[in-house]
Amino acid sequence: MDDCIFCQIVDGDIPARVVYEDEDVLAFLDANPIAPGHTLVIPKDHYETLDEVPPEPGEMMFAAIHYLTPIVEDAVDADGSNIGFNNGAAAGQEVPHVHGHIVPRFEDDGGSPIHAVAGSPPDLADAELDDLAADIADAAGDHTPS
């Protein structure tokens, strides 16, 4: 993807403050951090959204997020962190190369929990929640990550 800014970072064509790299994954500081240590974790190959990421690079990306989160927190002496994906334009994704955000958080930093990202909460009856849970469970099956 020649015009993808994150592919250009992977290729070394534009600079980034890289904090971690392996065969499948690159992590670097966000250029416009919303907290000190705000880090982006991407698969090196170009996929736009999570549903496009094949299992293996997906597992490597989530493993890197799991590995890096406490390291990033320690580096900035954070009290916690939010981990999130803006997955798709409707969810606020601006760079169309899938990326996880590690956002360190601090006591009294004035921020919000992840519950603040969506619009008005839906008013769902118990029966609707039961149906929804059954639908998702049916679709999910008994998949176990390799």
Cβ proximity of 49 and 86 under 8 Å: no
Window 84 to 123, contacts with ligand 5GP (CB under 6 A): 86, 92-95
Which of ligand 5GP, Zn ion, none interacts with 1 (beta carbon under 5 to 8 A by kind)? Zn ion
Over the window 17 to 36, marking each residue x when it contacts ligand 5GP by CB under 6 A and - when it does not, the resulting string is -----------xxxxx----
Q: Among this protein's residues, is 115 annotated catalytic?
A: no
3-state helix, strand, coil in the chain (%, to 5): 35, 15, 45
Tokens of 120: 């008005």
What's the Cα-to-Cα distance from 81 to each of 56, 66, 128, rounded to whole Å? 25, 12, 32
State which residue, 30 or 59, has the beta carbon closest to ligand 5GP.
Answer: 30
User: How far, in Å, CA of 26 to CA of 28, rounded?
Assistant: 7
Which of Zn ion, ligand 5GP, none interacts with 144 (beta carbon under 5 to 8 A by kind)? none
Q: How far is the CB of 46 from Zn ion (least distance, A)?
A: 3
Q: How far is the CB of 64 from ligand 5GP (least distance, A)?
A: 16
SS3 70: helix
Residue among 38, 46, 97, 99 flagged as catalytic: 99
Phi, psi of 26 (to 5 degrees): -130, 140
Residues tagged active-site = 99
Interacting residues with ligand 5GP (CB under 6 A)? 5, 16, 28-32, 40, 86, 92-95
